[in-house]
Amino acid sequence: MPETRAITGNGAIAEAMRQIAPDVVAAFPITPSTQIIEDFAGFVADGKVDTELITVESEHSAMSACIGASAAGGRVMTATSANGLALMWEMLYVAAGMRQPILVAVVNRALSAPINIHCDHGDSMGARDAGWIQIYAENNQQAYDNMIMAPAIAGHADVRLPLMVCLDGFIISHSIETMQLEEDRQVQAFIGEHKAFHSLLDTANPSSWGALDLHDYYIEHKKAQQVAMANAKPVIEEVSERFGKEFGRRYELFESYRLDDAERVVVAINSVAGELKEVIDELRDEGEKVGLLKIRVFRPFPYAEIAAALKNSKIVTVLDRSTSMGAYGPLFVEICSSLYDANPRPMLYSRTFGLGGRELLLDDIRDLFEESKRYLNEGKIEKTSDFLNVRGG
């Protein structure tokens, strides 16, 4: 029987991991993701899973051990945040290049310096070119659901790529929400068997992994990887649809919230969507045509689908919870790319918020919509890019 439970985001991810029952987990503690591995270690200690838990000495070794275990034919998972993900960086590319469907829960946290343990998306956004599928979640339920869908997506024969399930540090990871945990057997049936290829443990057929690839083959391997990432898009749609049929919660590449006739749209990722929806409902009651496009899948990025969803918009405010120094925010850049061919093309501007956990309150969001109203009326964007809620303006 599915169970309704009040649980933290980290707790929900740990439950998903228990249900997925990976062969190997290699992990290193880092706030705010630590509880995932603590809970999971408890499941191992109690015999609720027979996973080999490797308590490594660093995140670099965590990802290295994950790659080794995956190449040896295992279903493999880990969890991390911020500096931990940064320490994995080199190995993220190796995991993707080796086409290992490793699953990582990234509990989003700001990168140092200055050191900060609170939420922003600088960690996973920095890894956006590493060749990992990235799926984001607004709340505990979505984080859990995304993780349940992850093995079927990452391990799909047309995909075979590593996958990050991203959830906001503290806001989701440590907040208790009432959500539905699905039944173990139903989840396991949904996930299916893990299929390895050219396992290192197949000693009768020795394969060699990680060869030196020079100018005669490197680009062919990269092309194959790029095609796999493109393949991931329909696979994510297919798995999400199957998930909806099985468990009743429906997901698409992104969520369109009161978007059909919206003139003023905010595009955002993760937990801030909750506040945005609240304000949008209020403004809709006042007759304002406002809406939200909430990104779920950031890699592969659904350019054409987003362009179609925004075709009726007149002005689009993109909220980035990370910053690319010397450039526009990563989400803004993608939305601009999506809309380049739109005719008519909506007005577009970028706002960066929430770095290092800085709050964005409902009033701030109301102000944001006021601003977009003014820009739309004036037909002019005053500031293409700016930080919100920063002292000194």
Partner 1 sequence: MPKLQEMAKKKTAFSSGHRLCAGCPVPIFTKMLTRVTDYDIVVGSATGCLEVASSIFPYSAWNVPWIHTAFENAAATMSGVEAMARVRSKRNGNAKKIKCVAIGGDGGTYDIGIQALSAAMERGHDLLYICYDNGAYMNTGIQRSGATPLGAATTTTPAGQVIAGKQQQRKDLSKIMVAHHIDYVAQASIHDPIDLSEKIKKGIELDGPAFLNILSPCVPGWRINPDMAVESASLAVETCFWPLYEVDSGDYTVNYKPGKKRPVSDWLLTQGRFRHLKDPQWAHLIDEFQSLIDEQWDWLVAQEKKA
Partner 2 sequence: MSEKYGLKNWQELALGGVITDGGNAADYETGTWRTWRPLWRQESCINCLRCWVFCPEGAFVLKDGKTPAGKDRKEIKQIDYYYCRGCGLCVRECPVNKKGKKKAIEFVREET
Place of tokens 């949904």: 190
Contact 136, 106 (CB under 8 A): no
**Residue among 206, 287, 344, 392 that touches partner 2 (CB under 8 A):** 206
**Residue among 6, 115, 176, 224 that touches partner 2 (CB under 8 A):** 224
Report the C-alpha gap between 141 and 18 in whole angstroms: 16
**Residue among 195, 223, 311, 383 that touches partner 2 (CB under 8 A):** 223
Peptide bond into 113 cis (omega under 30): yes
Peptide bond into 300 cis (omega under 30): yes
Report the C-alpha gap between 111 and 123 in whole angstroms: 6
Angle subtended at Cα 100 by Cα 95 and Cα 103, rounded to the nearest 5 degrees: 85
| Binding residues among 92-131 for partner 2 as defined by CB under 8 A | 97-100
| Binding residues among 151-180 for partner 2 as defined by CB under 8 A | 160
* Collapsed DSSP state (helix, strand, coil) of residue 160: coil
**Cβ nearer to partner 2, comparing 86 with 228:** 228
| Binding residues among 27-56 for partner 1 as defined by CB under 8 A | 50, 52, 54-56
Q: What is the dihedral of CA 241, 243, 248, 253, to 10 degrees?
A: -50
**Cβ nearer to partner 2, comparing 197 with 340:** 197
**Cβ nearer to partner 1, comparing 56 with 336:** 56
Contact 167, 272 (CB under 8 A): no
| 67 near partner 1 (CB under 8 A) | yes
**Cβ nearer to partner 1, comparing 95 with 235:** 95
Q: Closest distance between partner 2 and the C-beta of residue 64, in Å?
A: 16
| 69 near partner 1 (CB under 8 A) | yes
| 195 near partner 2 (CB under 8 A) | no
Contact 282, 367 (CB under 8 A): no
Beta-bridge partners for 78: 104
Contact 123, 104 (CB under 8 A): no
| Site size with partner 2, rule: CB under 8 A | 22
Residue 185 token pair: 């057997």
Q: Going residue by residue from 95 to 124, which x/- string records binding to partner 1, judged by CB under 8 A?
A: ---x--------------------------
| 192 near partner 2 (CB under 8 A) | no
Biggest CA-to-CA distance, the chain = 72
Site residues for partner 1 per CB under 8 A = 23-24, 26, 50, 52, 54-58, 60-62, 64-74, 76, 90-91, 94, 98, 199-203, 206-214, 216-217
Site residues for partner 2 per CB under 8 A = 97-100, 160, 197-198, 205-211, 213, 216-217, 220-221, 223-224, 227
